[in-house]
Structure formats: C-alpha cells, structure tokens
Amino acid sequence: MHYHQALAEEIRTSAARLLAEDVGPGDITAQLIPESQWGKAQVLTREAAILCGVAWVDELYRRLDSRVELTWLRADGDALEPNQVFLEMEGPARSLLTGERAALNLLQTLSATATSARRYTDLIADSGVRLLDTRKTLPGLRLAQKYAVTCGGGYNHRIGLYDAFLIKENHIASCGSITAAVKEARGIARDLPLEVEVETFEELDEALAAGADTIMLDNFSPADMREAVQRSSGRATLEASGNVDATTLQDIADTGIDCISIGRLTKDVQAIDLSMRIVHTERR
C-alpha cells in the first residue's frame, strides 16, 4: 500500500480506536449536560510547540458527532507560542467534552514529536545533513509519529520491516558475512533500498565492496566518521547512528556524513501541555 494511502487509513483506524478506548459504551459524565446545550470551545498550548495532528482530530470529531465544527487557526508544521489558541470548536457541548481527551492525547503526542524533530533540525539547519527517525516509535503510532517527524523538518527512515533492508549484526552473523547477506538480499528484492550497519572500518570496506546503498556507522567517533567519508568517496550514503543528542549533533554533522538517525525523536518525547476550555454555552 502506498504511504499516503496507509497514512489515511491509519488516521481513520486510530481515531476509531481512540474513541473506543475512552468513550466505550458511553460518556456518563457528559449526560449531566442537557442534549440541547450548545457550546463553543478553544484549544490552546501552554508552551511553545510545533503543531501536528490536525487530520486525526478532524476524523475523531467527524466520527463522534458531525455537528461539531472545527476551525483551525494554525496548520500542521506551524510554530505555536505559549498560550496561543490554535483551534476553535463549536457544537453540542456533550460532544465537545466527550472528544476532548482523545483529541488532546493525540495532539499532545504528535506535536511533541514534531517539536522534537524541529529542535534537532534547527541545530544542523545549515549543514545539509538529513535528520532521520527510526523504528523506535510508540506502539500503535508508527505512521503517525513518522508523519510528525516530517512536520518538524525531519525525514523518515524505513517505515517498517517491509520497505527496506537493514542488515545488522545478528543478520550478518546468521548469514556468515556482510557480502553473503547483501547477496541474499539482492536476490530477494533487488529494487528495495539496502542498508548495512557496520562497527569497524573492515566492515565498512566490505559493505562498500558488496554494493550497499547506505551504510550505517554505528557508534563511530566523529574522527572515525571523517575517515569513513574519505574511504567511501561517495560510493554509498553514510548514516551516523548511536550516541546522538543535542550536545553531539553538530560535531557529527560536521564530519561530512549524509544523514543522522535519532531514536529520541519518537521514543523520548514529552507531551506538549495543551488545554481545551469552554468559552460559551447556550440552549438550542
């Protein structure tokens, strides 16, 4: 399935799942509010952030109650300032409140991912090095977080185990060598991207000779990365991985490698502090 088709399907299924786990057979607290009560609400952020999750919230409220109207004042990828209202809502008060937590849970997590990506990409904005995510995503949110990374200015590594080869230490040990593993992979699917993870210069040379498209330099020092760039001479894309954080990122980017993968973009995110408040109600 094409990535965009898969993402659209993920938005539909995740919205349904979020509602099912929170609302269950019905929102009993919302029954305190008369069915005829109409409300207006605003959603704001308490801290600076990069917005992400618009389509998920649209789908969530569409499923919950089509009478709810959402007016987005900002779009995915936009920067938000503390206390900024970015969404205005109007509809049955019961429905506004029933969907609140599911919507905010998704928004706060995806916006946190996008914010994390933007924070790191800004550090190497002038280097030309691409910042990549990994498969270290929150369970059930793979495509959503991968999308959020792009909203923050980053790039996606492989989506899963099906769209690219990544030959790592245990694959190499099982196949007998890098050369054998690459040969086997090419025989399985020649048209898919093929990456090899290496830990030494000897492994780097073997991966280059075997014809790997991309080579991941696992926990190489910046000095060794520079040497790897010289050895490869552009024969493969070089990716740095391991021990990457805000304090090491610039030094790594300065080595001349092509891209840097960071698991922190998706696995260590801290939810953005968001709030929804009812600003007006009336009987209809």
Active-site residue, selected from the candidate residues 63, 136, 142, 264: 136
pTM of the model: 0.94
Instruction: List the catalytic residue out of 12, 74, 119, 168.
Output: 168
Annotated active-site residue 277? The verdict is: no
101 annotated active-site = yes
The pLDDT value recorded for residue 1 is 54
pLDDT score, position 179: 97
- The backbone torsions φ and ψ at residue 127, rounded to the nearest 5 degrees and listed phi first, read -90, -25
pLDDT tens digits, 84-138: 999 999 999 999 999 999 999 999 999 999 999 999 999 999 999 999 999 999 9
The rounded mean pLDDT for the chain is 96
Using a pLDDT cut of 70, give the percent of the chain over it.
100
Band (190; pLDDT cuts 50, 70, 90): very high
Rounded to a whole number, what is the distance in angstroms from the first to the last CA of the chain?
45
**pLDDT tens readout for residues 18-64:** 999 999 999 999 999 999 999 999 999 999 999 999 999 999 999 99
Verify whether residue 218 is a known catalytic residue. Answer: yes
Q: What is the tens place of the pLDDT at every residue in 208-235?
A: 999 999 999 999 999 999 999 999 999 9
Q: Are 221 and 254 in contact (CB under 8 A)?
A: no
168 among known catalytic residues: yes
pLDDT at 3 over 90: no
pLDDT at 260 over 90: yes
Catalytic position from the list 17, 101, 183, 277: 101
Active-site hit among 218, 224, 227, 273: 218
On the question of pLDDT at 142 being above 60, the answer is yes
Residue 97 to residue 193: CA distance in whole angstroms: 46
Q: Over range 10-16, report the average pLDDT.
A: 95
